[in-house]
């Protein structure tokens, strides 16, 4: 549904985005992750046609953005990080206004409006001025405006930032439903646990470039991240060190008397064999804990900094 090739953008001497390529299929949620200033919002702005690229191309549903921007924008829904609502209008009036811009009229617009208000949990506040809404309610209405014309591709830039847990759950449920209905979703977020649970594929971006992309399992394999075993028991440091030295499946991270942290480079695939080696070695083990690498581990390995830096 979305195909981005070699997208680049400069602001003066600053290279904001450099040679970014990615694809998002219908029914898939693609997470674009990176710390502040990584180039995520600039990338989304170019895909949306709001900022012209220095080079590269964007195609949506097979249509080139540069050749036919109007046709692309009819297929595109954008939910910006900054809330874009008319606060003196009611929720109904906001949806009616944006639906009208996309050509919806009469019963079709009324039906779509009522459907969206129910989806984002605002049906009971539909006739109230938006200025009275909480931050979470405004976020949910902001999401509804980007979906009013039933777009095939939805760009979501930090849609859950600064909202309460209940509102976040509602927004994430709407996003999952979008993908289930066949829409392609490009999603940026500062919440790694959110991306890990929501996204089918991910790209990790920093300094304007994509450092890695794929499924979380693919990224773990490519980056050489394995499982970490914490073993405890009545053993001496030297005994565990000798076991590790004999095993091709283990790397020592930290070893002390009675406790050791061991890396299994092959991850889950190698854990069974490693546990068998440990138990057959004669070590007196009282506890074994297995920790799988998470998205935070991958992100720090690639960028060397926290997502919000």
Each residue's pLDDT tens digit, 105-156: 999 999 999 999 999 999 999 999 999 999 999 999 999 999 999 999 999 9
Domains 2-221 and 226-292 fall in the same CATH topology: no
Q: How far apart are CA 143 and CA 154, in angstroms?
A: 10
d(CA 119, CA 130): 17
Count of Cβ atoms closer than 10 Å to residue 84 Cβ: 15
For the segment 286-309, the average pLDDT, to the nearest whole number, is 73
Instruction: Return phi, psi of residue 55, to 5°.
Output: -160, 165
> What residues contact residue 117 under an 8 Å CB cut-off, 6+ apart?
91, 92, 95, 123, 126, 144
User: Do 283 and 239 touch, CB atoms closer than 8 A?
Assistant: yes
Handedness of CA 20, 157, 177, 169 (dihedral sign): positive
Query: In the CATH hierarchy, which fold is given to the domain comprising 2-221?
Result: Rossmann fold (3.40.50)
Instruction: Give domain limits for the chain.
Output: 2-221, 226-292
Determine the Cα–Cα distance for residues 283 and 277; give it in Å rounded to an integer.
10
Which secondary structure element, helix H or strand E, spans residue 303, and what is its range?
Answer: helix 295-303
* Residue with the larger pLDDT of the pair 265 and 53: 53
290: Cα separation from own chain's centroid: 25
Q: CA dihedral defined by 89, 95, 97, 99, rounded to 10 degrees?
A: 180
- Please tell me which of 172-181, 225-234, 269-278 the model is most confident about, judged by mean pLDDT: 172-181
Separation CA 92–CA 253 (nearest Å): 58
**Quick check: 299 pLDDT over 80?**
no
- Range 230-245 average pLDDT: 89
CA distance 304 to 295: 13
Please spell the DSSP secondary structure of 30-65, one letter per residue.
EEEE--TTSSHHHHHHHHTTSS--SEEEEEETTEET
Specify whether the CB–CB gap between 204 and 38 falls below 8 A: no
As a whole number of angstroms, the distance between CA 162 and CA 165 comes to: 10
Q: Is residue 266 scored above 70 in pLDDT?
A: no
- Global pTM? 0.81
Mean pLDDT, to the nearest integer, of 258-276?
78
pLDDT class of 247 with cuts at 50, 70, 90: confident
Distance of CA 128 to the CA centre of its chain: 32
Chain mean pLDDT for the chain: 90
Residue recorded with tokens 């546990």: 275
Domain over 226-292 is classified CATH 1.10.10? no
């Amino acid at each position: 549904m979305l195909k981005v090739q070699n997208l680049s953008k400069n602001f003066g001497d600053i290279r904001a985005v450099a040679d970014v390529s990615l694809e998002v299929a219908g029914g898939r949620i693609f997470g674009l992750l990176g710390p502040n200033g990584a180039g995520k919002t600039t990338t989304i702005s170019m895909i949306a046609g709001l900022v012209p690229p220095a080079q590269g191309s964007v195609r949506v549903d097979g249509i080139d953005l540069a050749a036919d921007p109007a046709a692309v924008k009819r297929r595109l829904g954008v939910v910006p990080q900054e809330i874009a609502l008319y606060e003196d209008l009611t929720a109904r009036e906001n949806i009616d206004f944006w639906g009208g811009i996309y050509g919806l009229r009469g019963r079709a617009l009324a039906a779509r409006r009522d459907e969206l208000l129910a989806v984002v949990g605002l049906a009971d506040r539909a006739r109230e001025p938006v200025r009275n809404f909480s931050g979470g309610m405004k976020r949910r209405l902001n999401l509804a405006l980007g979906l009013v014309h039933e777009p095939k591709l939805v760009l979501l830039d930090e849609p859950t930032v600064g909202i309460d847990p209940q509102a976040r759950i509602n927004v994430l449920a709407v996003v999952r439903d979008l993908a289930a209905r066949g829409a392609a979703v490009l999603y940026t977020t500062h919440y790694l646990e959110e991306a890990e649970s929501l996204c089918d594929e991910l790209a990790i971006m920093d300094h304007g470039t994509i450092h890695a992309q794929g499924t979380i399992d693919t990224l773990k394999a490519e980056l050489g991240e394995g499982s970490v075993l914490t073993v405890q028991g009545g053993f001496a440091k030297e005994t565990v060190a000798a076991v590790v030295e004999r095993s091709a499946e283990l790397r020592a991270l930290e070893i002390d008397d009675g406790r050791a942290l061991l890396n299994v480079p092959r991850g889950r695939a190698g854990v069974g064999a490693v546990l068998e080696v440990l138990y057959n070695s004669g070590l007196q083990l009282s506890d074994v804990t297995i920790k799988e690498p998470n998205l935070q581990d991958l992100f720090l390995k690639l960028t060397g900094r926290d997502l919000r830096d």
